[in-house]
């Protein structure tokens, strides 16, 4: 799973027997898909109910999750997608048209575009990392703001608090929690709002060379419980974890 140029993103997961790549267009103004996106899609493909009839991609970016769900996973479902960025929504619409799939893409913050609606499945691709790390890293280009707060949880805790109102009775939400944010706070919010919360997959990564020169600042965040790192040999590691939560 990689990108073929700076203007496209290519998705293919051989673990599920994919033989052809799904390629979508990207733009500098829209957040580029990451390994979190790939982990989310793998979790959905392995653990989601294939009979889900209404599906929401929250924080759709270029639309790769929505397009993959429409094209590969839930071919008979109604697929919805939203993003706070108008450019992201327009790009998702363009990618859906190019892939000949129907996606209801709307612009708005979190659940604002979906008032009164219920979904069988919500896939939340709005993660977040501690703002000091976001600014030090190369993950967010200058024109794309994280604004997730000092502990990286601003968006995800709000989404988890609101999500039950937008889920069908047996609906589920898949969401990421990065250890470069306050995972304990995220889990506390999830467990307060859902009857069942389970870890479905996780992946650990070495801290990038862009962040290693700033270890003193990162260790300060860790000492205050805002991030978690593990040391393996000489390498510092962080993780993306994907959880599934349900009301029943």
For 137-151, the pLDDT digits (tens) are 767 666 666 678 889
pTM of the full structure: 0.93
Per-residue pLDDT, 2: 36
Give the chain's domain count.
1
Parallel, antiparallel or unpaired: strands 119-124 and 103-107: unpaired
Q: Which domain holds residue 161?
A: 2-246
Per-residue pLDDT, 230: 93
Top pLDDT among 75 and 158 is at 158
Cα 224 to Cα 210: distance, rounded to the nearest angstrom: 22
Percentage of residues of the chain with pLDDT beyond 90: 79
For 163-222, write each residue's pLDDT tens digit: 999 999 999 999 999 999 999 999 999 999 999 999 999 999 999 888 888 899 999 999
Least confident span in 31-35, 71-75, 106-110, 182-186 = 31-35
CATH number for the domain spanning 207: value is 3.40.50.150
Parallel, antiparallel or unpaired: strands 119-124 and 8-11: unpaired
């Amino acid at each position: 799973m990689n990108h073929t140029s700076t203007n496209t993103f290519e998705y293919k997961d051989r673990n599920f027997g994919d033989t052809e790549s799904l390629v979508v267009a990207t733009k500098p103004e829209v957040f580029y898909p990451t390994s979190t996106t790939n982990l989310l899609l793998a979790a959905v493909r392995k653990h989601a109910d294939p009979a889900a009839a209404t599906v929401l991609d929250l924080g759709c970016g270029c639309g790769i999750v929505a397009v993959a769900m429409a094209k590969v996973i839930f071919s008979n479902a109604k697929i919805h997608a939203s993003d706070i960025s108008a450019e992201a929504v327009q790009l998702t619409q363009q990618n859906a048209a190019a892939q000949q799939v129907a996606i209801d893409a709307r612009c708005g913050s979190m659940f604002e575009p979906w008032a009164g609606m219920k979904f069988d499945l919500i896939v939340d691709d709005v993660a977040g990392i501690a703002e000091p790390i976001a600014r030090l890293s190369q993950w967010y280009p200058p024109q794309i703001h994280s604004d997730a707060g000092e502990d990286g949880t601003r968006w995800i805790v709000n989404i988890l608090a609101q999500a039950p109102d937008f889920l069908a009775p047996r609906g589920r939400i898949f969401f990421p929690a990065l250890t470069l944010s306050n995972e304990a706070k995220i889990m506390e919010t999830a467990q307060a709002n859902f009857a069942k919360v389970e870890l479905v997959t996780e992946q650990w990564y070495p801290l990038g060379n862009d962040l290693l020169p700033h270890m003193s600042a990162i260790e300060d965040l860790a000492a205050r419980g805002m991030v978690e790192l593990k040391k393996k040999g000489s390498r510092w590691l962080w993780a993306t974890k994907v959880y599934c939560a349900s009301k029943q």
